[in-house]
Amino acid sequence: MTSLRDVAERAQVAVSTVSAALNGTRPVKAETKRRIEQAAAELGYRPNLLARGLVSKRTRILALLFPPPGSGFGLTEMQFATAAAEAAAELGYHMLLSPESADPVEELRYLTGMGLVEGVLLMEVRLTDERTDFLLESGVPFAMIGRTRDPGAVDHADIDFARTAREAVAHLAGLGHRAIAFFNHSTSAYSPEYGPSVRAGAEFAAAAREAGLGYAGDVRADTADEGRRAFDRLMAEHPEVTAVAVMSDRAAVGVLQAVEERGWSVPGDLSLVLASASARVAEMFRPRLTTLEPPGAELGRLGARMLIDRLESPGSPPAHRLVPCRLVIGDSSAPPRTTASRGAPQTEA
């Protein structure tokens, strides 16, 4: 491996001059600089990041903590990772993928204690999160994709649940629906501290209220089976509901099933909006579902940029960015029939 010394030798200058010339940290005569650059190019010189990091304390390496797969780790979460890595690469940083062990705080202590990682990007942040406590206390720069209950001065990018819910509700209200329901994640599969679940639930309720719509919240389902049963229960208690928003794509499968079992159809007898699934997933359903596509890539990008900004200008004010989901209209949302005529043979589609 060719080192700074080799370059210095070939260009007939001191090592420190090469460093200065290559990094532009000090003025170097044009002619000397040229000679040095040529020598470096000829030797194919690449600076050693380890040596550089050792003295400068800057490694340009970020860590992305990702939760154990299985816990709702889907396409969206993966987009965080890839987009964040890409944004980082564009800015000259590297992204370390760090699977979260049983003890995430210990994991963090280890990661940051090594001197390898300059900053941490957190995802799947819960409303109260021990990881943020640790990072705050230890002074390690970090940013979040998602946010705690009170993010304070911590940089973060998250879904704009308020706007997303209002857009979805406006879409349904605009179609003429007067009563809707929201199928949240079940508390057994997701922590009650899971931000998206809590916030979406709250915002859908608020949006429905503001729009003057009937609203059935507190429905929860994460599997097809749960979805099916939850829908039957919902119809028993709230037959006036003509449209539902569903967080879990699996639960949506169940709802569709239940609708079919009644001899009903979507969107004729029920409008269904998928909350928080990519269009790619939504179009696999028949009919193609209307969905609220989460801005996974953008959040990843934003998170990485924020973290890097924080590293490069520590004094800057904290960044908080909320991005709404994109409403992608499919074939599963339409004007409601009168609930009385439900299940009647379909009119022309």
Partner DNA sequence: AACGCCGTTCGAAACGTTTCGCACAGAACG
Partner DNA sequence: CGTTCTGTGCGAAACGTTTCGAACGGCGTT
Binding site for a copy of itself (CB under 8 A): 1, 44, 46-51, 53-54, 59, 61, 64, 66, 68-69, 73-75, 78-79, 81-83, 85-86, 89, 94-99, 101, 109-110, 113-116, 224, 249-250, 253, 256-257, 260, 281, 283-286, 297
- Residues 272/243, Cβ–Cβ less than 8 Å: yes
Which residues are CB-contacts of 133 (< 8 A; sequence separation ≥ 6)? none
Q: Least distance in Å: CB of 173 to a copy of itself?
A: 28
Q: Least distance in Å: CB of 110 to a copy of itself?
A: 7
The residues binding DNA (CB under 7 A) are: 1, 3-5, 12-17, 19-20, 22-23, 25-29, 31-33, 45-48, 51-52, 54-56, 115
85 binds, among DNA, a copy of itself, none (CB under 5 to 8 A by kind): a copy of itself
Q: Least distance in Å: CB of 139 to DNA?
A: 16
Residue 32 or residue 191: which is nearer to DNA going by CB? 32
Residue 272 is given by DSSP the state E
17 binds, among DNA, a copy of itself, none (CB under 5 to 8 A by kind): DNA
Q: How far is CA 293 from the centre of its chain?
A: 11
Residue 111 or residue 127: which is nearer to DNA going by CB? 111
Question: How far is it between the farthest Cα atoms of the chain?
Answer: 92
- Residues 19/4, Cβ–Cβ less than 8 Å: yes
> How far, in Å, are 96, 139, 244 from residue 118 at the CA level?
11, 11, 44
Place of tokens 């990041």: 49
**H or E element that contains 30:** helix 30-43
Q: Least distance in Å: CB of 115 to a copy of itself?
A: 4
- Residues 91/308, Cβ–Cβ less than 8 Å: yes
